[in-house]
Amino acid sequence: MEIKEKLGAIEAILFASGEPIEIYRLSEASQVDAGSLSSLIRLLNERYDDCGSGIRIKKLDSSYQMCTHEKYAPQIRAALETKRATPLSNAAMEVLTIIAYNQPVSKSFVENVRGIDSSSVINNLVEKGLVEEAGRLDVPGKPIVYRTTSVFLRSFGLSSVAELPPLPNQPLITDTDENDIDDI
C-alpha cells in the first residue's frame, strides 16, 4: 500500500469513528505497522497545518482521535449554540482528583478519603463522561471501581494520566505510632 493510501485509510478510520481508537486497532484496520503509525499521524497533522485545516489528530494515552483544532473552539461553540458547561464544583474536583491519582477506585475509597458520602458526585462525573466504570473488585459485595476517561484527558489537556502534576510531599498521618502499639 502506498503512503497516500495509508494516510487516507488512517484519516478515514479516525473520521468515521469519532471516538478514540486504540493504536493496535488503528494499526490493524489501516494495515499500517504500529511503529510507523505515529510518523504517519505526524504527517497528517503537518498536512492539516500547511493548509490551515481546522482538524487535528490527537494522541490520548494509547489511542488516537480526530478532533477540531483548539483555535476554532469559539466558532464551533457559536455554530452549535452550546450552552457553557457548568464548572465543576469543589466537591467534584476533589473527587475527580482522588480518582485520577488513585485509579481504579471504589466509591467507598473516595468516601474514606473525603470523609463524606460521594455517590452523587461520582454519578455526576460519570454522566459528564469524565469518569467511567472500570470493573468490579474481587471482594465481598463486588463494588464497582472507577477510572478517568479520554474526555477527562481532553478536558484537562493531557495525553495520559502520567502527565498529572505530582502531589506535594506530605508526611503520612497515622492514628497510632509504632511506639504506642508497644505500650498497649
Cα of first residue to Cα of last residue in the chain, in angstroms, is 75
Mean pLDDT of the chain: 85
Rounded to whole angstroms, the Cα distance separating 13 from 24 reads 13
> What is the assigned CATH class of domain 3-78?
mainly alpha
CA dihedral (18, 19, 24, 29) positive or negative: negative
CA 156 to chain centre: 8
Rounded to whole angstroms, the Cα distance separating 38 from 82 reads 33
The backbone region for 115, taken as left when phi is positive above 0, alpha when psi lies in -120 to 50, beta otherwise, is left
User: Which fold would CATH assign to domain 90-163?
Assistant: Arc Repressor Mutant, subunit A (1.10.10)
Tens-place pLDDT, residues 93-134: 999 999 999 999 999 999 999 999 998 899 999 988 899 999
In the numeric block, which cell numbers belong to residue 164?
498529572
Q: Is the pTM of this model over 0.85?
A: no
Provide the residue ranges of all domains of the chain, joining segments of one domain with +.
Answer: 3-78, 90-163
CB distance 7 to 44 below 8 Å = yes
Question: Do 3-78 and 90-163 come out as alike in CATH topology?
Answer: yes
